[in-house]
């Protein structure tokens, strides 16, 4: 009975704290990301939690991005990541660039999607020390990459395309296509109004 009464009294405070806490967390996460990038971060971006930046921080993020917690952005050497306007990076997305990874405007990456433009070179010695083969990845505008999908080096995905959940994309995907499977196979999409 006392517990119910006290929780009833504290209920408005809990709501205020939750709302204020979320706003303060977003502001703190924005400030941390801004400090970690080599380029400016526009104030229209919404950063909802901790974003890990590794390597050279050669990353440009457009306007109105929505970035969820647990995202990893890594650039090595001359690698660069370019993210267009109105992009969504869901929780746990990993983007790694040794050459270049480019996301067009209005792209959405589902939870735990991975874009990596480099592979370890084949080696009979230590794979860790073998170096990397890399080739740029480019996503056209309005591409949706589903949860857990992997886009590998050298892949270009055309505008208005969809990559299904858990797909592994090893080849280019034409515009207005849907790619699913391991390895992913693409087919044309038909749009209805």
Helix ranges (DSSP H) in the chain: 2-36
pLDDT > 70 fraction of the chain, expressed in percent and rounded:
94
Express each pLDDT in 85-125 by its tens digit: 999 999 999 999 999 999 999 999 999 999 999 988 777 77
**Residues in contact with 185: Cβ distance below 8 Å, sequence separation at least 6, in sequence order:** 179
Q: Is 102 strand, coil or helix?
A: strand
Q: What is the pLDDT of residue 170?
A: 96
Instruction: Report the b/e string of 101-111 with b at 16+ CB within 10 A.
Output: bbbbbbbbbbe
Lateral strand order in the sheet of 66-67: 46-47, 66-67, 88-89, 108-109, 144-145, 162-163, 177-180, 185-188
DSSP state of 98: S
2-188 folds as UDP N-Acetylglucosamine Acyltransferase; domain 1 (2.160.10)
Express each pLDDT in 17-48 by its tens digit: 667 778 888 999 999 999 999 899 999 999 99
Whole-prediction pTM value?
A: 0.87
Number of CB atoms found within 10 A of residue 73's CB: 26
Cα distance between residue 160 and residue 167, in whole Å: 17
Per-residue pLDDT band for 2 (boundaries 50, 70, 90) equals: confident
Could you tell me the CA-to-CA distances from 146 to 51, 97, 111, 115, 179 in Å, in that order?
A: 20, 20, 7, 12, 10
């Amino acid at each position: 009975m006392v517990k119910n009464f006290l929780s009833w009294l504290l209920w408005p405070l809990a709501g205020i704290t939750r709302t204020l806490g979320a706003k303060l967390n977003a502001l703190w996460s924005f400030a941390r990301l801004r400090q970690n990038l080599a380029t400016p971060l526009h104030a229209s971006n919404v950063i909802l939690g901790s974003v890990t930046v590794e390597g050279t921080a050669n990353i440009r993020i457009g306007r109105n991005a929505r970035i969820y917690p647990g995202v990893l952005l890594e650039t090595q050497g001359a690698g660069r990541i370019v993210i267009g306007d109105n992009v969504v990076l869901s929780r746990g997305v990993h983007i790694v660039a040794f050459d270049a990874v480019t996301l067009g405007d209005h792209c959405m990456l589902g939870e735990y999607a991975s874009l990596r433009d480099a592979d370890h070179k084949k080696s009979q010695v230590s794979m860790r020390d073998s170096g990397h083969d890399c080739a740029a990845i480019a996503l056209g505008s309005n591409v949706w990459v589903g949860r857990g999908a992997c886009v590998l080096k050298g892949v270009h995905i055309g505008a208005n395309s969809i990559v299904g959940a858990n797909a592994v994309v090893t080849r280019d995907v034409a515009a207005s296509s849907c790619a699913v499977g391991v390895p992913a196979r693409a087919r044309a999409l038909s749009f209805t109004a």
